[in-house]
Amino acid sequence: MDLLEYQGKQLFKRHGVPVPEGMPASSVSEALEAADGLGYPVVVKAQVLIGGRGKAGGIKLAKDREDVERAASAILGMDIRGHTVHELYVEKASDIAEEYYAAVVFDRSAKAPMVMLSRQGGMDIEAVAEEDPTAIAVVHVDALVGFRDFHARRLCFEAGIAGDVRGPVGALLGKLYETFVAEDAMLVEVNPLLITGERQVVALDAKVTVDGNALYRHPETGALRNAGADDEQEAMARERGLTFVKLDGNIGILGNGAGLVMSTLDVVAQAGGEPANFLDAGGGSKAEAIVNAVEVILSNPKVDAVLFNIFGGITRCDEVAGGLVTAFGQLQPKVPFVVRLDGTNDQEGRRILADASLRGVWIEETMLGAAARVVELAGAP
């Protein structure tokens, strides 16, 4: 789960990472109130979960009330690479002398936290890594030993941090690591890490991703569901406890098990079709889950046909079939369904479907046959 900048900074503050003073605002009047409270000049920043805000005009310096009003009205509602701005962050303007980069990353390849530091901040770090990998100092931390002073010293020396700020930069890294562990983060990134004219060290931006599986330990963070962060259909699926990802095509997909559903999308694409979604109905799919899933899939008006691809392990094909019959009764779909049932109780499942003689339901024996059939029925997207 990705957090907005100001939400990330709230976590930073909790763990002593220095950040500029600021206030979130969701209207022009709130922005003015925030700026008045903070004192001018301020920076008005779009709060969206995508990079490149500055270039898109989503970050503006404001030296008085008039500026704030103009900036806030311009940025609220702005579209930044497909993300609508619903919230602003009004922050006291900082005096920028140097811009560094710092991050703690959950490195799944090394299976260890990785801490990074560079003097080349304020720009795309992947571009820095490509151009001059030696400009980024990196250490891997043993998860049971934790981040130690020597890690901080090593990073500062290897990154060539100026002597007068080595202490505070090192201390900030320690607190970033603390944030990373204590908040169950997968990523904590500060770009830029600011050195002010008075040689203060401040986190000017915050990009934080937290582990959705650990939210039970962080109820406050879990409550931060961002307006506009999710697609409407994805939000609907989540409320019903379904694993769902929206895609661009016109063929609705339901399967059981993440790998099989991914594979189903691929096979449909190979047959010339375009999937409209990923939906994993999960192990042991019960009738109610199937009804819910069908409802979510059909809520997308682009869907021209639906493919059910079930390989029953724990999931029983007869229960899936029963769920589909119930769903047809309740929802009366207008688009054709192709159903492939294999595995546990597959014959009973197929018999239930045959007995119900649902209109617009095709039963296929194989995954490839089902994919070809649904592509034919859906037609061009």
Partner 1 sequence: MSILVGPETRLMVSGLTGREGSFHGLNNRRYGTDLVAGVTPGKGGQDVEGVPIYDTARAAVAETGANTSMIFVPPRFAADAIFEAADAGVELIICISEGIPAHDMLRVYTHLRRGSTRLIGPNCPGVLSPGKANVGIIPAHFFSEGGVGLVSRSGTLTYQIGNELAQRGFGNSTIVGIGGDPVVGSSFIDVIERFEADPQTELIVMCGEIGGDEEERTAEYVAESVSKPVVGYIAGFTAPPGKTMGHAGAIISGSRGTAQAKAEALEAKGVRVGRTPTEVADIAAEVLGAKV
- Find the shortest distance in angstroms from Cβ 44 to partner 1: 27
Q: Can residue 186 be called a binding residue for partner 1 (CB under 8 A)?
A: yes
Provide the Cα torsion 348, 351, 353, 358; round to 10°.
-170
Q: Can residue 164 be called a binding residue for partner 1 (CB under 8 A)?
A: no
Contacting residue, 261, 303, 321, 353, with partner 1 by CB under 8 A? 261
Contacting residue, 200, 226, 243, 326, with partner 1 by CB under 8 A? 243
From the candidates 89, 100, 101, 177, which is the catalytic residue? 101
- Find the shortest distance in angstroms from Cβ 221 to partner 1: 13
- Pairing verdict, β 96-107 and 59-62: unpaired
Q: According to the 3-state scheme, what is the secondary structure of the chain?
A: CECCHHHHHHHHHHCCCCCCCEEEECCHHHHHHHHHHHCCCEEEEECCCCCCCCCCCCEEEECCHHHHHHHHHHHCCCEECCEECCCEEEEECCCEEEEEEEEEEEECCCCEEEEEEECCCCCCHHHHHHHCHHHEEEEECCCCCCCCHHHHHHHHHHHCCCHHHHHHHHHHHHHHHHHHHHCCEEEEEEEEEEEECCCCEEECCCEEEECHHHHHHCHHHHCCCCCCCCCHHHHHHHHCCCEEEECCCCEEEEECCHHHHHHHHHHHHHCCCCECEEEECCCCCCHHHHHHHHHHHHCCCCCCEEEEEEEECCCCHHHHHHHHHHHHHHHCCCCCEEEEEEECCHHHHHHHHHHHCCCCEEEECCHHHHHHHHHHHHCCC
Contacting residue, 33, 69, 158, 184, with partner 1 by CB under 8 A? 184
Q: Can residue 366 be called a binding residue for partner 1 (CB under 8 A)?
A: yes
Q: Can residue 257 be called a binding residue for partner 1 (CB under 8 A)?
A: yes
- Find the shortest distance in angstroms from Cβ 245 to partner 1: 5
Contacting residue, 226, 263, 300, 326, with partner 1 by CB under 8 A? 263
> Catalytic site residue 89?
no
* Closest CB to partner 1 among residues 213, 357: 213
Rounded Cα gap, residues 46 and 59, in angstroms: 6
Q: Can residue 344 be called a binding residue for partner 1 (CB under 8 A)?
A: yes
Q: Can residue 147 be called a binding residue for partner 1 (CB under 8 A)?
A: no
> Catalytic site residue 189?
yes
Binding mask 278-307 for partner 1 (x = CB under 8 A): x-x--x------------------------
Contacting residue, 55, 65, 199, 217, with partner 1 by CB under 8 A? 217
Part in contact with partner 1 (CB under 8 A); list of ranges 16-24, 52-60, 192-200, 262-270: 262-270
340 forms beta bridges with: 309, 364
Contacting residue, 21, 33, 158, 211, with partner 1 by CB under 8 A? 211
Q: Can residue 334 be called a binding residue for partner 1 (CB under 8 A)?
A: no
Contacting residue, 134, 216, 223, 227, with partner 1 by CB under 8 A? 216
From residue 71, alpha-carbon distances to 79, 301, 328 in Å are 14, 37, 51
Size of the site for partner 1 (CB under 8 A): 52
Part in contact with partner 1 (CB under 8 A); list of ranges 56-64, 82-90, 290-298, 360-368: 360-368
Contacting residue, 130, 144, 357, 380, with partner 1 by CB under 8 A? 144
- Residues near partner 1 (CB under 8 A): 106, 108-109, 111-113, 126, 142-144, 181, 184, 186, 211-214, 216-217, 243, 245, 247, 255-263, 265-270, 275, 278, 280, 283, 311-315, 342-344, 366-368
Q: Which residues are catalytic?
A: 101, 189
